[in-house]
Copies of this chain bind each other. A is one copy, B any other.
Amino acid sequence: MTIPNNLPVSDNGQEIYKILYRHNFDDLAIYFQEYNAKTSRKCCIVSDSHVASLYMEDVNTMASEYFNKVTQYVFPEGEASKNLNTVHDLYVELIENHFDRNDLLIALGGGVVGDLCGFSAATYLRGIKFIQIPTSLLADVDSSIGGKTGVDFDAYKNMVGAFHMPCQVYINTNTLTTLDERQYYAGMGEVLKSALIKDADLFTYLLNNKELIQAKDTEAIQTMIYRSDLVKKNVVEFDPKETKGERAKLNFGHTLGHAIEKYMNFKCLHGECVSIGSTIASIISFNKGYLSQDACNSICKYIGEFMQVPKLPEDIDIDGIINLTKNDKKADGKLLKFILLNEIGDAIIDTSVNDSDMKKAFETYMKDWNK
């Protein structure tokens, strides 16, 4: 597969931003120069304590050459920081430094940084520009496309948020070398999901290139990120605000994934739970006569043997987890829209999946694949 070094993303037929695929931060200079060409402007680099310790200096040095003023806002790493208090403190930082509508926020980090910085950009002065510099695989393939921003509210994930597009996404694949293994394979959960719902060739690529993927080979990484982004871009461009149903297909693996995530008290990573959810959804797809036995096995084997998903407790309360899916149901109207696979690369929305379908497939998963 030959992979372009950028991917344009449009809204309503109009290009809004490009995702750039690079191996270093060098081209940020070009972007900063262009952005700042007209007049002296300010930027604020928003990051978490972990990512800041790795990359803040590089990005800050580069920004300082082109912006009139560069400030930094760093918060403690982890989902616990993704709340309105952190947003509040960021507003204060921006106000104290007289940020106006022409200034820029830079989200340097994983999904938490991107979501929080994006929401702050969406709501400060009714919206200012921001760019994303994702540093995790999950952020590369998920949170950096589609304009969803938000923070958690009490125990509720992403309860408060807005749709707000970045004006640039700069992916430096080299940052993945500092990502720990578990986070890396969790990110692959979303890559695999994209392949399964829309891109059979990508699934074949993932099957055939396990060693390169494991070794974080630059070209392999770039290939899977680009192809995965392409799937999401096409869905999001067609259904930007989840009003047409099409965007629901991106929730493949997520109905049970979210429920498992909650049941495990967020001790498993989001991407890991999505992978488990994808396995069970594939088994349901087979049980319902859509997916072939071979295809289903191929998916289960890839996830179960290659993707290092955590082992669920043997005494897991399957009924309890199925009950937790009712929240997803509620959030989407009154009907549970379950995403199944007609075949690999072809997702369908099914409203007939009931509790016993889920339970049966979950039991198969626990017996055959929970290792």
Residues in A lying within 8 Å of B, measured CB to CB: 12, 39, 84, 88, 91-92, 95, 98, 100-102, 119, 122-127, 148-150, 153-154, 156, 158-163, 241, 330-334
Contact = CB atoms under 8 A, between A and B. Distances in A.
A125 B154 CA distance: 14
Nearest to A329: B100
* Interchain residue pairs A-B with the least CB separation, the first 3: A126-B161, A100-B331, A123-B160
Given A102-B333, A119-B123, A122-B162, 15 more contacts: A12-B12, A84-B84, A95-B153, A95-B159, A100-B331, A100-B333, A101-B331, A123-B160, A125-B161, A125-B331, A126-B150, A126-B161, A126-B162, A127-B163, A162-B162
Nearest to A153: B91
Contact of A123 (B154, B161, B241, B330): B161
Nearest to A164: B162
A154 B89 CA distance: 12
A101 B153 CA distance: 16
Contacts of A125: 159, 161, 331
A332 B91 CA distance: 18
Given A101-B331, A333-B100, A334-B39, A91 B126 contact: no
Nearest to A148: B126
A284 to B, nearest CB: 24
Contacts of A92: 154
Most chain B CB atoms below 10 A, which of A101, A148, A150, A241: A101
A201 to B, nearest CB: 32
A91 to B, nearest CB: 6
Nearest to A147: B126
A297 to B, nearest CB: 37
Contacts of A158: 126
A330 B101 CA distance: 9
Contacts of A154: 92, 95
Nearest to A124: B160
12 contacts: A84-B84, A84-B88, A92-B154, A98-B330, A101-B333, A123-B160, A123-B161, A123-B162, A125-B331, A126-B161, A127-B163, A127-B241
A160 B156 CA distance: 22
Contacts of A330: 98, 100
Contacts of A148: 126
Contacts of A156: 95
B160 A91 contact: yes
A111 to B, nearest CB: 15
A163 B125 CA distance: 10
A295 to B, nearest CB: 33
